[in-house]
Amino acid sequence: MKKVVFAVTLFFIYFSSVGAAEEKDWVLKGIFGVVYNQTSVSENWSGSEKNSKNWGLKLDASAEKGFAKSTWSNNLKEEFGKSEVSDTPEQVSADLIDFSSVLMYNWSIYADPYVGFNVITVHNTFHDPVTYKESAGIGWAFLDREKQHLKLRVGAAYTQRFQSDADTTRETGLEAISNYDVTLSQTVKFASEARLFTAFKEGPNLRWDNNLYLKVSKYVTVALNYLELYDAAKQTKPQWAGDIETRFTVAVALSYNLF
């Protein structure tokens, strides 16, 4: 699978370089946010609250470059945060590094072939665990407007997961990835990404990430996030609906548009 992806990538790069004179400038987007909250109570406090401290950092960034016959898209998502309640040790509450790169050949108005690479790891124990994925398939752009986009990719994928205290796992399967974003106004934006990978042996793996951004002022943003996770490999007797993990967060954060 890796040899196939490498060969197809070289094929795309060749045709991209042929039309290098028609290449476009990089389109850069990014938002960086910081969240912090703290509660302090006296020793004789009669309520149920306890001393607590929570902080978090979040980065969403993308870089896209268009050529005469192809488009190269890169996306980086990072999260890191810690929380501490009373005298308990500080714990990591959020930790993610997710980088993906997709090279898509502009073949026709109906469908475009692509090759992709994705790596997922964490900050706290960098590169342990780490998951690599190489993929190739066909993509469609159902909506490509100034303020609204809907894209879908379907193809074959090969994943490798490395972890120091566990056996290395390698899986081949099929992937489907959808991306939707809409700018409702100058202060409201919604973005959603669904990733489904179905291994031929282990079953499906789903990550559905939804974000709603409400810009209150130049540097203050209310961010709502809803995340669904499902991994059939973690379940002894997988049940699609009952084993789905969900997380909903609301944060008022200091934010800054990087580009």
Strand-pair partners of 116 = 102, 135
Which H, E and C letters describe the chain, residue by residue?
CHHHHHHHHHHHHHHHHHCHHHCCCCEEEEEEEEEEEEECCCCCCCCCCCCEEEEEEEEEEEEEEECCCEEEEEEEEEEEEEEEECCCCCEEEEEEEEEEEEEEECCCCCCEEEEEEEEEECCCCCCCCEEEEEEEEEEEEEEECCCEEEEEEEEEEEEEEECCCCCCEEEEEEEEEEEEEEECCCCEEEEEEEEEEEECCCEEEEEEEEEEEEECCCCEEEEEEEEEEEEHHHCCCCCCCCCCEEEEEEEEEEEEECC
170 and 158 in contact (C-beta within 8 Å)?
yes
Range 196-208 average pLDDT? 91
Between 104 and 43, the more confident residue is 104
pLDDT at residue 189, rounded to an integer: 94
pLDDT at residue 9, rounded to an integer: 53
258 and 32 in contact (C-beta within 8 Å)?
yes
**Domains, the chain:** 2-42+50-257 (2.40.230)
| 148: confidence class by pLDDT, cuts 50, 70, 90 | very high
Would you say the C-alpha torsion 104, 62, 210, 208 has a positive or negative sign? positive
pTM for the complete prediction? 0.84
Distance CA 150, CA 4 (A): 27
Would you say the C-alpha torsion 20, 23, 26, 27 has a positive or negative sign? negative
Range 123-147 average pLDDT? 92
Q: How far, CA to CA in Å, does 70 sit from each of 7, 39, 112, 148, 153?
A: 16, 52, 9, 21, 15
pLDDT at residue 91, rounded to an integer: 92
Distance CA 155, CA 142 (A): 17
pLDDT at residue 4, rounded to an integer: 47
| 13: confidence class by pLDDT, cuts 50, 70, 90 | low
Nearest residue to 54 (alpha-carbon basis) of 85, 10, 33, 14: 85
225 and 191 in contact (C-beta within 8 Å)?
no
pLDDT at residue 126, rounded to an integer: 84
Strand-pair partners of 92 = 82
